Chains A and B, each alone.
Chain A
């Protein structure tokens, strides 16, 4: 697959959308969800192999396609629309970009090719009980031991942390904070899926007791690494939220056109129209913000952090709003387990909160904007 800009981006979007329409329709999402499985092996193999989507943002020298945040944004937007159940966000968006941002040649050469070809899944473990990505809030500690390192501590809200082959763990060290790679099934690793809101994307707890770890970066570079990873993740997450919000609007509009009450489609009532039109404003604004953000992050523009945070904050609110209105517009049907509206609401609220409460993100944006 070749992508670059304009028309190729449209083609990429169409390919991914069509694939997900065929291979990840609602009944598949529900099958995996009810079975508690994180993916369908065949779909994952096609997605990572034939379509090459797991390598889209991995540098060419590590087996990837060498594209960046813009193309990745298109892919995750489509996955967000479809609520794809797969370890893509954890492996590619979080861990893959975190590995690439580390600049650690050995680590990249060792693990990125596996991410690119789909043979390796990975997770990024930053937050702990405080639920924040602030280094100051972290207590997990790494210590030198026998020529290597060990890591001990408890991580929370780790996307796909209970199944990932590889864990990237942020920890304190005697020389400042560091990022460490840990095998998912290494001795001393205890992990479990958390019983949480989002049923299509698991969160896990990961407890580490003197687990052997490989350092990627230690000391002053860690804060810069985390800042870059944050920008990359927020821009991609905003794109995913945009996809979900757009889908909620679509479902609402489709239903409002056909559902009749009082002898006419409910979409002919102004109250319903205004809800839909308002969502449209928010979705289109989100689309503008996401393209601004992914381009700024891709180009390492001076305002990359600001635009990524802005897109994430806007799309968080827009997605949650769209999911709630989707339920409201569907009425009783929207409140049933069988309707997908609640799956979007669960994803929306989770993606709004799992990186910390909205107020913190807004306060961070204020600082970035010089307010």
Chain B
């Protein structure tokens, strides 16, 4: 593992926003890793190579502290970074570490943990996968049952996690485990980082409805985890699980908006090539998507403007994900509908349209409103935390 890298780019304090943008654009263009490989294994290597390129040249982790390899950019620059990243069409992160585990480590990890984990995560040398959900603990995550029993300087972990994306590539799992009583719910949960290669860890790929193997079940059988790999206090893991780093996500929403802008333009092109733009029904559906994709961008821009003006993300931050997930489902389904029988053809059929990207998207995006909190739970969250509607008295306290 190489850890040498250039000085952080943020050091150039006199640089203007325009010059910063130009420099990013030039770097992303010059070092672009080329087209996404078809084989999932090649894809992981392709992504890792790109993450290493970013890290080694000081272009990784826009919001991260410089000490651990990040750029430590002010928020306005993070926005520029995300805009350029979206424009460059480079690989996204690998695993759930960068977006989900890293903010927790940065905020709550010890100095030793940060040093051990953050730079290799950022460089793509260490792939992180999430171990939250269990067969009996999905939306009701506080009911999770995987146990960790203290044994000297170690925990003995037993149980099962499920829906773990990139489990096959993972080097570590960041997991929520029960250290309290069975009934302790949120008060008895601890945040552990578990070596994926440790004895007693077994990964069993799950075939998803697309036919792929993006996620897996992970079994822990007397897995020994050093206490030094616990983040936060014992039984204090729950509040750490949903940490976000500054307003990184708001900047990320702009990236997604830009990506779907491009996808919709590609669909409009496809409709034009196929002579379907003359059909008023097709046009009307495209107008609907056009309105929505623009509103997603307006919302992202408004969130960012709020953050820049007041330091707070404001009301739009909670709506972005709900809008994007519905949009990505609808655009793919409409594309398949528009193609008619040709929309049914899968990748290897010679007549498949655009290597069946729309059909695959139609299937893949079923997960959009399930993973990382179902749509139903997210709507509850908006209703309760933003609108102040009362919690369901029949459910355990939040």
A-to-B contact residues, CB < 8 Å: 6, 253, 256-257, 264-265, 267-270, 272-274, 276-278, 280-281, 284-285, 287-289, 291-292, 307, 310, 313-314, 359, 362-363, 365-366, 369, 371
Partner of A268, one of B295, B301, B392: B392
How distant is the Cα of A268 from the Cα of B383 in the complex, in angstroms? Answer: 9
By a beta-carbon cutoff of 8 Å, the part of chain B in contact with chain A is 268, 277, 280, 283-284, 286-288, 290-291, 294-295, 298-299, 301-302, 309, 315-316, 319, 322-323, 376, 379-380, 382-384, 386-393
B376 surroundings in chain A (CB, below 8 A): 270, 274
Complex CA distance for A291 and B294, rounded to whole angstroms? 13
Q: What are 9 A-B contacts with C-beta separation under 8 Å?
A: A253-B387, A256-B389, A277-B379, A287-B316, A288-B316, A310-B295, A314-B291, A371-B277, A371-B290
Instruction: Quote the shortest CB–CB distance from B348 to chain A (angstroms).
Output: 32
Find out whether the CB atom of A270 lies under 8 angstroms from the CB atom of B388: no
Question: Shortest CB–CB separation between residue B162 and chain A, in angstroms?
Answer: 24
How far, in whole Å, are A291 and B380 apart by their CA atoms in the complex? 27
Q: Do A284 and B298 contact each other (CB < 8 Å), given the known contacts A273-B379, A363-B280, A366-B283? A: no
CB-CB nearest in chain A for B295: A285
A284 lies within 8 A of B315 (CB): yes
Contacts of B386 in A (CB 8 A): 277, 280
Q: Which residue from A274, A281, A314, A369 sits with its C-beta under 8 Å from B319?
A: A281
Dominant secondary structure at the B interface: helix
Known: A265-B390, A287-B302, A366-B286. 5 other contacts (CB 8 A): A257-B388, A257-B389, A280-B319, A280-B386, A284-B316
CA of A310 to CA of B283, assembled, Å = 15
Known contacts A277-B383, A280-B387, A281-B322, A289 near B298 by CB under 8 Å: yes
A313 pairs with B299, CB closer than 8 A: no
A274 to B326, CA, bound (A): 15
Given known contacts A285-B319, A289-B298, is B287 in contact with A365 (CB within 8 Å)? yes
Q: Shortest distance in angstroms between B97's beta carbon and chain A's nearest beta carbon?
A: 30
Rounded to whole Å, the gap between the CB of B293 and the closest CB of chain A is 10
Contact B284 A362, beta carbon cutoff 8 Å: yes
Chain B residues, Cβ within 8 Å of A268: 389-393
Of the residues A257, A264, A281, A371, contact of B287 by C-beta under 8 Å: A371
Q: Do the beta carbons of A270 and B380 come within 8 Å of each other?
A: yes
Cross-chain contact A288 with B388 (CB below 8 angstroms): no
Q: Which residue of B lies closest to A306 (CB)?
A: B294
Least CB distance, B303 to chain A, in whole angstroms: 9
Q: Are A363 and B283 in contact (CB under 8 A)?
A: yes
Residues in chain A near residue B323, CB distance under 8 A: 281, 285
A276 contacts across to B, CB distance below 8 A: 383, 387, 389
Q: Determine the chain B residues whose CB is within 8 A of the CB of A307 once the complex forms.
A: 294
Given contacts A273-B383, A288-B301, contact A314 B295 (CB under 8 A): yes
With A280-B382, A288-B298 already in contact, the answer to whether A369 and B393 are too (CB < 8 A) is no
Nearest B residue (CB) for A362: B287
Give Cα distance in the complex from A292 to B295, angstroms: 9
Q: A273's contact among B280, B286, B290, B380, by CB below 8 Å, is which? A: B380
Complex formed: what's the CA distance from A292 to B296 in Å? 12
Contact residues in A for B268 (Cβ distance below 8 Å) = 371
Q: In the docked arrangement, what's the CA distance between A369 and B292, Å?
A: 13
Q: B387 contacts which chain A residues (CB < 8 A)?
A: 253, 276-277, 280
A284 vs B384: C-alpha distance in the bound complex, in angstroms? Answer: 16
Closest to B390 in A: A268
Question: How many angstroms from the CA of A285 to the CA of B173 in the assembled complex?
Answer: 37
Report how far A268 CA is from B391 CA in the complex, Å: 5
- Report the minimum CB–CB distance from B140 to chain A (whole Å): 14
- Please, which residues of chain A bring their CB within 8 A of the CB of B277? 371
| Chain B residues with CB under 8 A of A289 | 294-295, 298
Whether B379 lies near A278 (C-beta < 8 A) is yes
Residues of A within 8 A of B384 (CB): 273
- B51 → chain A closest CB, angstroms: 33
Q: Of all chain B residues, which has the CB nearest A268?
A: B390
